[in-house]
Each structure stands twice: as structure tokens, then as C-alpha cells.
Amino acid sequence: MLRLNHHGKQAIKGLHGNTMKGLRKKTSEYRKLSIYGFDMVMGGHNFFALLEFDVTDVRKELRAQRSRGEGGSLFSFLLKAIGRCLEEQPEFNSMINLSRTTSFSEVDIAIPIEVMRDDVTYNKQYILRAINEKSVREIDDEIETVKSAAGEEKTYMSSRMGQKIIARLPRFIVVFLFRQILKNHEMVKRFSGTVFVTSVSMVTNVPGFILPYSGGPKAVSFALGSVVKKPVVRKDTIVVREMMNITAIFNHDSVDGAPAARFINLLRRYIEQEYRSLL
């Protein structure tokens, strides 16, 4: 029980003073542009597919290849598998607006890469160009090179100086300019690729699905979750397998349910059965 004496009142004031006042810092240009980017794609018409794929066999094969100095990571393999599916079904490697739909033969996958600068960790976007023409090893080497690259970092929008200039503009002007860019599909491809893939599998093994904020003209995006061992039924027998959660986000403006299901079947076939054709 508190005694409401003079000292008690002073202590209560001190307590409120310490707990109610937070530590403030200026929002970075990168975060401001991220907020503007989310504003830009508000109101998208997406539907989600929450998928579980068995990666036991492909992980075993990748480990064997790495022991021989070949192959690459599971992430690089999955990017290759997604790229192959998009190449075979180019209607998913496309963009749409009220005026036109644009399909691309070249698959450019944008991925976030975590980098450290001035003791601050942040994500930058990197675009793997023509991933459908690269091997898993080439994809893996390119990602590792980008992670260790020095110099001025680029983001989805522009250089650091460009960020500073754009972030000083009024919010409504930035959002308007961004939305004008979205109408030019070739420019969207240049700055952010034809498809977006994010992954948390390298930083957590907590099971579950990622539901990223997604929008804009692209037909499909992906979020790769963690790999966990689970009991599954194979030929009427319960066995332990390594299962990976993957979220596919489809833009309903350009993709309907049946074509999306066929795309998922193709992706599953490459991951679980025909993985050697990609290695």
C-alpha cells in the first residue's frame, strides 16, 4: 500500500516521468519510402494460397552437391524453381492495369537482402535478372556477392541521395508519382522485377505462414517460411519429413483460381519430384 506523503507524490511523478516518455528518433528516408510504397498499392485484389511442400529429398541432394563443391542453398533452388514455373507459364510473369496486360519472357525476381551499414541493419532490394537462364549455383554465388558488396547501396527506388530528395517531398506527391510509375510496366520491371520473393527461413525455424503486404500490378508474389520436421503420411505409413511453408499471393485482377491451382501443382512437382532437372 502506498503512503501518500510528500516523498510518495514525488516518487509517483518520477515514475510517470520515466515510463511515459519514449525515446524518439527521426524516421529514416528508407522507412518513409516504405510507408509511401504501401500507400501506393492499397486496395489490391489478392488471394492467398497457404502451401506445405516436402523438401526432404531436395535438401538431401543439395547437401550432397555442396559436399562436392557444387549446388547451392535451398533458397537459391526455390528461386530457380519459381523462375522455371514462371517461364513455363508466362501469364504469371506479367503485370496488369485497367489499360493493358504485359507478359515478360525474362523472369526478374526481386528479393530483400539484409545488410549492415553504420551499425544499423536494414533491408535492400536486389533483382536477380533473367533467373530462368541461371543455374542454382550461379544464383547462390550472385546473392552471396551482393551481400558482401561494398559501396553505395541501392533500394527498390533509387540511390541514397535519391531517397533523401524524394523523402522531402509531400506525401501525396510521392504517392502520386509512385502510382504513375506503376502504370509503366517496363519501368516497374526495371526497378522491382517481375515477381517478388521474400524469405524468413534463414532467420527462424518457428513453424507458420508469412502473409506479406502485397499489391500493385504483378501477377504473383511469394513468401518462404521455415523448414520443420513433421509427421506425414506416405503410402499409408506415418513418417517424419522436412516440410516447408510457402505462401503464394495471386493478383485476382489477372489470375483466377483454376490457373493458380495448376501453377501450384507445377511448382510442387519441381520441388518434390523433378528437382534434379533444376540442379
Structural domains for the chain: 28-278 (3.30.559.10)
The residue type found at 225 is G
pTM: 0.81
- From first to last of its 279 residues, the chain has per-residue pLDDT tens of 445 555 555 544 455 555 667 888 777 766 777 776 666 666 678 999 999 999 999 999 999 999 998 889 999 999 999 999 999 999 999 999 888 999 999 999 999 887 766 666 667 789 999 999 999 999 999 998 888 764 444 444 455 666 677 777 787 787 777 777 788 999 999 988 999 999 987 677 777 788 877 778 999 999 999 999 999 998 899 999 999 999 999 999 999 999 999 999 999 999 999 999 999
- CA dist., res. 82 & res. 16, Å (int): 53
Residue 58, C-beta contacts closer than 8 angstroms, at least 6 positions apart: 74, 77, 271, 272, 275
Cβ(250)–Cβ(51) under 8 Å? no
- CA dist., res. 86 & res. 89, Å (int): 5
Q: Is the dihedral of CA 155, 161, 164, 165 positive or negative?
A: negative
Cβ(190)–Cβ(201) under 8 Å? no
